[in-house]
Each structure stands twice: as structure tokens, then as C-alpha cells.
Structure 1
Amino acid sequence: MTLFHLGLIINPLAGLGGPAALKGSDGVAAEALARGAEPRAAQRTRIALECLRPLAERIEFLTFPGPMGGDLLAEMGFRHRRVGELDGETTSAADTRRAIECLQEAGVALILFAGGDGTARDVCAAAREGQPVLGIPAGVKIHSGVYAISPRAAGELARRLVEGGLVRLAGGEVRDLDEAALRDGRVAARWYGELTVPEEGGFMQQVKQAGMESEELVLAELAAWLEDTWEPGVRYVLGPGSTLHGLAANLGLQTTLLGVDVIEDGRLIATDVTEAQLFELVDGHPARLLVTAIGGQGHILGRGNQQISPRVLRSIGLDHLRVVATKRKLRTLEGRPLLVDSGDPALDEAFPDAVRVWAGYKEELLYPVGHL
């Protein structure tokens, strides 16, 4: 009988910080244990593996020794092989990354991993593109879309795969909060990448969305995205408004709230420019234009940013314009289009039917545009 090979990795420290009121477990596992927290990752993994008991004769697990999988599989009686070695008595993120590499080298069909968003980041750092993985939720923070909605759901998905059921693969986002900032009362998170995950029915959770979108969080994410994608030698024109002012502040730049500013190579090279000054800066020079929408109204050009004139727009190019707006701001439009009123009807007519809107880290929306 041909065996189906599954990988298993458990982060035994995942989830410790929750009961200890530490907002997470990254870097504080010892403190959490001192406060009386009890490891729960293995127990949650056990729930997932119980779904596979009826198929035990058809499965061979590959795993890391001790608390990272070997102990639990031996206790449950599953056939398994141990790959790799732990660095020390306490497991680490490096162990997780090394385990992923070993399991991939062994050619497992699917890697099950138990943890939280920090674990997902470690998996993402080591997983090859296209390697199927599936998270068993065991951490304090579960924002990433690479986890099943419950340990039992993870087990059911793995069971379907072993039984030969059709399981679609999709990209799942890896996101994580900065726990140190969270403990200081600040919310800061970012996108770390994507993993290939099975996607079937209602088994997989969506990327966590708070009931109320955090403007501060979105601006931090947008700043991180912009900083990651600066084009050397390109001039970035930032229009007025609190959205772009806040984005720049997250980059450590002091722009003018109600003016137009220009950034190049991460430096502020001109502030509160006039239309003539702006045209001189972008004419014949590669440039990008970032504007925001007026909440409730939707104007992106022609209201408060007349420095961005028709000749400036033509010099930059409409294909180099991006709107920066949170989803909350877009919802205030109640489905109405974004508006342009450049003062040049021919230019307004030349706008596409929809423009790209930056709404979060590597999150682009397509939103309709109209003109007056």
C-alpha cells in the first residue's frame, strides 16, 4: 500500500501569552510560563489529528523531534519519521524554519503546522513557492488567512486530501501584529507574504478584519508598502490631506497637511509647492502622483489640490496616478464614483472608467471614476 506523506510541525510555545495577558507569545514564553500558563499547541494539534485516525494505516508523518511533533505522534500511535534535530532544549523560530526546509526536501504533500501568526511568518520565510501548507490555529493572534477555522477543520481538510477528494489550492495571506507595540497600546501590523493553502468550503478562515478599520494601522501599512517599493530617481508627488500627511509621517517625513510635497529617494525635496514649481519638478522627470479622496464627496482632483494642474497631470501621466484611501473612506461614498474636476474637460474625459486605490499593504482596489 502506498503511504500518503504528511509533514507536521508544532510550535509548542504558541498560545502561551494569551492566558497570561501578554497579547501574544513572541519573546515572552518564559514569562508566560512563570505566570502559570500551560502549553496548549499539542492539545489543539491532537484535535486535528483525531480526524485522521481512521486513515492511520494510509499515512506516514514526517516531523521534528520532541515537542515539535515527534512526541505527540508517538503518543497517538501514528506512523512517523523524525527529520532534523532541535538546536537546544527550548524550541525557536529557527527550528521552525529548518523543519520546513527538511520536510520540503523529503517531498511531503502537505505540511500541517500548529501556531499563530508568528509561526506563520516563520513558515512563510522558509516555504518554497507552491508548497502546500495548512495552519492548525493554536496561537494568540490569528490574523493570517493560512489557518483553518478550527483544529477540527484542519483535520477534516487533511482527511479529504488523503482520501483523494478534490481540494483546491489558493494563496493565503500571512499577516502579523507587532506584539511589542501592542503591549504599549499601539496597533501595528503588516503583510509578510503568501502561502499556498488548501481552500475548500468553509474550512479556511479569512484574513482578520476588525469591526472598525484602524486608520492608524492602515496608514502604517501603506507607508511600509511605499517604503518597500520606492523607485530610485522617481519623484513622488503627495497631494494634500490627512491621509497622505499621515502616510508621510509614518515614513518619518514632515509634509504639509494642506499643501503638495515632493519626495525622491525617500527624502523630502520640496514642500508646499506652487503649480509652477511642481511642473518644473516633474516635467521631463519620472514621477508618480498620490492623491486621496475627500470623504463623503469623492473628489480626487480639483478640490484643494489645484497645484496639480492639467499640464502637471499630463507630464506625470494618468497611468502613474494612484488614489490612497482607506476602505472606510470609500464606504462614505455609498457607491458613488470618485470625481475629477481638473479644469480641462478633455483631460477629465481621458480618465479611465476606474482607478487603482491603495487601501492597505499590497492591497489595491479598483474603483469607478466620474467627472463633473
Structure 2
Amino acid sequence: MKNFKLGLVINPIAGIGGSVALKGSDGDGVAEQAKALGAIAKANARAALALEILLPYQANITIYTVAGEMGEQTAKALGFATQVIYQPDSEQTTALDTEQAVQALMAQEVDLLLFAGGDGTARNVCHIVGDRFPVLGIPAGCKIHSGVYAITPKAAGRVVELMVTNQLVSLTDADVMDIDESLFRQGVVKAKRFGEMQVPSELRYIQAVKSGGKESDELVLQDIAADIIARMDDELFIIGSGSTTAFLMEELALSNTLLGVDAVCQQELISNDLTEPELWQLLKQYPQDKVKLVITLIGGQGHIFGRGNQQLSPRVIRAIGKDNILVIATKTKLNALQARPLIADTGDSELDIDLSGYIAVITGYNDQVLYPVASPQ
């Protein structure tokens, strides 16, 4: 087995705004605002999950990376042979640091560029790499619309493992997509294609480009909404993000946060766009048997936790309880997964396992199907 040269770039603030309802980390001052609200950066922890898959092959891997939190710390902490090829000018890293680091890694002729971030990070990488060099994304941001990301951090590690062990892996062109975060914070989805990059393709592990927009079959959505509304009594209903849950809120004539979490009781709005700490405090006011969580899946990908709803932290999910989670989706959306399971990627491996198994998905009025949920692989 030859020595594998793995390039690694981590955007250390990717997704930092997710748990405090800021919808991402893009924009001047957003990361500082998120930290002031108590948000904790998780990109390095997500990258570590991918690299841990490669620990059995340490002797055959050298990681070429960036100083500090942009890769060096995580690679060295796991015991990999590490070469630092770029040093940021300050502790507060920028998009320019990502682009200059990628340029330096390409000059080292690494076998694969592995990067952790969200769609903004993918755009930075694409600006330098284009479609000339194999890359793979570790999902760590709030917005993961691009097809250059593995479905989970561990899945990214599995793809690299295939390459390190010299198994045949096809290269596929995948779209780099992003949305305007400033508009998204106002509830407007405006996505744009920014290019494409080459990714090692293994269908079990690489995600589809996110399906956006509202469901076209309004009659089915009305039936799903009617089912949930009929269940509403004196319980607290936590409404997760997504276009399907947004339709439910429209049927209730309540304002909705497209990429956020809202609270409803007795069909009246309690609060919009709750942060994780706000959710935690709200849950303390209700016994567990008086709380329901309504979530949907990301179209084309199947995530029910871990994408776009980071306010739903492991402690929040545990406080609600698995039996109080209501998953809603049309059968069309489920069929589009082509038998792939739903994914619970909460960042807590024990909780992911607890959430695994079959779950009833509400697909219409008094209509449910059993569908498998899997933890990240």
C-alpha cells in the first residue's frame, strides 16, 4: 500500500450559527455574534469523526494541512503524520485563508483534498480547484445543498478509506450550490449553482444535491397538515424546519421560520425561531408526555437530524423523547430516496443509535408508513 497524501482544510467556524438560530456562519460579524450567544464551533469535531475511520491506516497516510484549528490540531490529536503547509495570518480565519490553503495543497500534489464546512466553504474551494482536482466535503455547516459532500462525516471517512485501500472509486462531477443567507434569514430561498468539482463517487456515502422548494402535491400536504392539527390539544408542539413543516404552519395561519424552530400550543404561536438554549428552557416548562416534535426530511438526502435543525441538540432531543417525534413527508419524497434510510446525525453517536430502527412517517390523514432510520456510517 503506497503512502496516501491527504489534504485537509477545516473551516473552524462552519455552522457555528446553527444552534443559535442565525442560519449559518456567512457574513460579517455572524461568527462573533454566534459565539456571544453561546454557540460552540463543531467543525473540528465533525472532521475528527471522518479521520477516525482512517486510524487503522495511519502508517500509510500523511496529512497535509493548515496550522491550528484549520486542520493541524485535529490531525495531530489523532496521531497522524502531519505536514503544515499554510499558516493563517490571525486566529480569526477567513474565506481567503481557505482559498490560499487550497492553493498550497494543490501545489503539494495531494491525492485528495478533504475539507470540512458548508456550502460557503465549498464555494471557496471550487473558486481555486474548479473541476481539475478530486475533492470531498465533510458536512459541518448549516447549509449543505452541494453534491460535493458525503452524507455524514463518517461516510466521508469511508470514501477516503476506499481510496487508501486502493479500491476502485469513480470520479463524478458534482454541483456546488449555495443560497443567499441574508435572504434565507428572511425566509426566502434563492439558490444558485456556482460550478462543479470532481468527487470520488460511492452512492452509499455521497449525498444528492438537495431538493429545494415546496412540494407540488398540495392535496397530500393538506392531508398531512390535517393529521397533525387533529392531534393538537394542550400539548407543546415544536415545529422543525423545512418546506413540508412550513406548509403545516401555513395551514395553521401562523408565521413560520423556514430554517428554524417554532413552538405552538393549542394551535397558537408560542415563539418563532427559537435558539437551542431557548428551546431547552421552554421544555422545562412541560412534562415529557405533553411535548411533540414535528420534523421532516431533507429532500434527496434523507436527513431528519443534523442538517438545518441544529437547534435540536442531543439534549433537546433526549428531553423530548423518541416516542414524541412525529416525522412528516409525502410518499413521493420517501420514494425519491430509492430505499435509502433516513439519517439521524445528531453529533451524539449513542443518541444516533437510539434513534435508529423503523419509525412511523405520517404521509397523509390517518396514513402512515414504516421507514428505516440509520445512524451515520
TM-score when normalising by structure 2: 0.55
Quote the residue 1:80 is aligned against: 82
Quote the residue 1:7 is aligned against: 7
Q: 1:84 and 1:12 mapped to 2: Cα distance?
A: 15
Q: Does the 8 Å CA contact 2:130/2:196 hold for their aligned counterparts?
A: no
Q: 2:132 and 2:144 mapped to 1: Cα distance?
A: 22
Quote the residue 2:274 is aligned against: none
Bigger CA radius of gyration? 1
- Aligned pairs for 1:300-339 (under 5 A) are none
- Aligned pairs for 1:184-203 (under 5 A) are 184-203=186-205
5+ residue gaps, structure 2, are 217-377
Q: 1:205 and 1:129 mapped to 2: Cα distance?
A: 18
Question: How far 1:85 sits from its partner (Å)?
Answer: 1.3
Moved more, 178-187 or 111-120: 178-187
Quote the residue 1:18 is aligned against: 18
Task: Say how many residue pairs are matched.
Answer: 214
Q: Does the 8 Å CA contact 2:63/2:82 hold for their aligned counterparts?
A: yes
Quote the residue 1:261 is aligned against: none
1:288-311 Cα distance to aligned partner (Å, 9 max, x none): xxxxxxxxxxxxxxxxxxxxxxxx
In structure 2, give the amino acid aligned to 1:3.
N
The higher relative CO (CA closer than 8 Å, separation ≥ 6) is in: 2
* Partner-residue secondary structure (3-state), 1:19: helix
In structure 2, give the amino acid aligned to 1:68.
M
Q: 1:14 and 1:23 mapped to 2: Cα distance?
A: 11
1:123-169 Cα distance to aligned partner (Å, 9 max, x none): 00011432000000000010000000000000000000000000000
5+ residue gaps, structure 1, are 215-372
> Does 1:132 find its partner at 2:134?
yes
* Partner-residue secondary structure (3-state), 2:63: strand
Quote the residue 1:275 is aligned against: none
- Aligned pairs for 1:120-159 (under 5 A) are 120-159=122-161
In structure 1, give the amino acid aligned to 2:21.
A
RMSD of Structure 2 on Structure 1 (CA) = 1.3
- Aligned pairs for 1:33-72 (under 5 A) are 33-72=35-74
TM-score when normalising by structure 1: 0.56
1:262-309 Cα distance to aligned partner (Å, 9 max, x none): xxxxxxxxxxxxxxxxxxxxxxxxxxxxxxxxxxxxxxxxxxxxxxxx
- Structure 1 9/52 Cα, relative in aligned 2: closer, same or farther at 3 Å? same
1:3-40 Cα distance to aligned partner (Å, 9 max, x none): 21000000000010110101111021110111100010
Quote the residue 1:162 is aligned against: 164
Question: How far 1:102 sits from its partner (Å)?
Answer: 0.4
1:48-86 Cα distance to aligned partner (Å, 9 max, x none): 001000000000000000000001111111001000210
Question: How far 1:187 sits from its partner (Å)?
Answer: 1.7
Moved more, 43-52 or 84-93: 84-93
